[in-house]
Amino acid sequence: MIAVVGASAAGLTAAQTLRREGYEGPLTVIGDEDLMPYDRPPLSKQILSGDWEPSKISLPCTVDGVEWRLGVRAVGLDVTGRRLALSTGDDLAYDKLVVATGVTPRRLPFGQELAGVHTLRTLPDTVAFKEELASARSVVIVGAGFMGSEVAAVASGMGVDVTVVDPLPAPMIRQFGPWLGDLVAKLHADHGVRMRLGVGVTGLRGEGRVDGVELADGTVLPADVVLVAIGSVPNTSWLAGSGLSLTDGVDCDSLCRAAPNVVAAGDVASWTHPVHGRRIRVEHRMNATEQGMAAARTLLGKGEPYAPIPYFWTDQYDVKIQAYGTFPEGAVPSVAAGEVGAGRFAAVYVEDGRVTGVVGWNLPRDTRQLRARIGEPA
């Protein structure tokens, strides 16, 4: 029996690939959400804005002969004995295992329990947040990464007073550095979103329900609702004591192998990228699909070193930002197509004389074409 733990993009793709590649044996997918697999990127975009009904984000679960165990959590793993402990009390024997348990939002060390304080990872999270946003006058978003930035764009379109707070000097700076970050900051300012950058959050105020956010400079921002969007933590606590190496998610080799007969895929997996020569972990939708496929093939003895060019996109207002490759801190961006002033451009990032990544701003075709330059001399 092959068991897949995690019923989302990576786990579903792994299950589909196993069948497509000829595996005919028993296949069980275990997922702790009550829902069949659905797509997460629209949560902070079309679902939050109300443009789409939730039914539109169901992933096509066209895979034969799967036993779906939904609403069930894996709580332990015995790699040597090939057994999974489940939240139902069952002890499940498997032959091969796919770990695809994704990540969980990081929480603030204070105030997170107050009513009105949200994180956003699941469909129920989004429905609950959307409901409160609809009657709120003000929202404070803690964290100016891609999620905080996307939610700021949607919330400002709903007529809510939006403030984004981040200790770093620009939004999405961790992904793309200060140059693009400054452009994103301007985009938000142009839409009336207040950016409180370079200052951290030190506390949440309110009794029972949040009513304010305290900043390190002494300011208190009024807040009817707060979204905490400060990154994620890999879901590996259930693997403690399993013997798997868990330095950054589930540590894997270049074929996505974490142990004999155990592979990992998606947001939870860090693997040795053959081109970069070091382990990386990618929290992007496209990687969940591609790595789900790669890991499944490895389990069937058809594996190859997994060497994708990472791809990521984000939608904010009428801007689609697309990114291929990697954006190390020292990489220098330069515009290679279009014009920044025209609101349509693509930029290549160069480090040590080589192109490491390409970012496009409302210029999909050129961005895709420039992707071929990654790894080449600048």
Ligand X SMILES: Cc1cc2nc3c(=O)[nH]c(=O)nc-3n(C[C@H](O)[C@H](O)[C@H](O)COP(=O)(O)OP(=O)(O)OC[C@H]3O[C@@H](n4cnc5c(N)ncnc54)[C@H](O)[C@@H]3O)c2cc1C
Give the binding site for ligand X (CB under 6 A): 5-11, 30-33, 40-41, 43-44, 73-74, 100-103, 120-121, 147, 235, 238, 266-267, 283-286, 288, 312-314
Q: Which is nearer to ligand X, 176 or 312 (CB)?
A: 312
Query: C-beta of 61: minimal distance to ligand X in Å?
Result: 13
Distance CA 65, CA 63 (A): 7
Query: C-beta of 334: minimal distance to ligand X in Å?
Result: 24
Q: Which is nearer to ligand X, 50 or 222 (CB)?
A: 50
Query: C-beta of 76: minimal distance to ligand X in Å?
Result: 9
Distance CA 274, CA 254 (A): 6
Q: Which is nearer to ligand X, 74 or 210 (CB)?
A: 74
Strands 201-205 and 194-197: unpaired
Q: How many CA atoms lie within 13 A of 77 on its CB side?
A: 27
Distance CA 242, CA 26 (A): 24
Quickly list DSSP for 106-173.
---SSSTTSBTEE--SSHHHHHHHHHHHHT-SEEEEE--SHHHHHHHHHHHHTT-EEEEEESSSSTTH
Query: C-beta of 216: minimal distance to ligand X in Å?
Result: 27
Query: C-beta of 74: minimal distance to ligand X in Å?
Result: 4
Question: Using an 8 Å Cβ cutoff, are 37 and 9 in contact?
Answer: yes
Query: C-beta of 377: minimal distance to ligand X in Å?
Result: 28
Query: C-beta of 323: minimal distance to ligand X in Å?
Result: 9
Quickly list DSSP for 239-275.
GTTSS---SSSEEE-TTSEEETTEEE-GGGEEEEETT
Q: Which is nearer to ligand X, 96 or 285 (CB)?
A: 285
DSSP class of residue 36 equals P
DSSP class of residue 87 equals T
Q: Which is nearer to ligand X, 30 or 299 (CB)?
A: 30
DSSP class of residue 209 equals B
Distance CA 320, CA 311 (A): 13
Q: Which is nearer to ligand X, 138 or 314 (CB)?
A: 314
Q: Which is nearer to ligand X, 188 or 212 (CB)?
A: 188
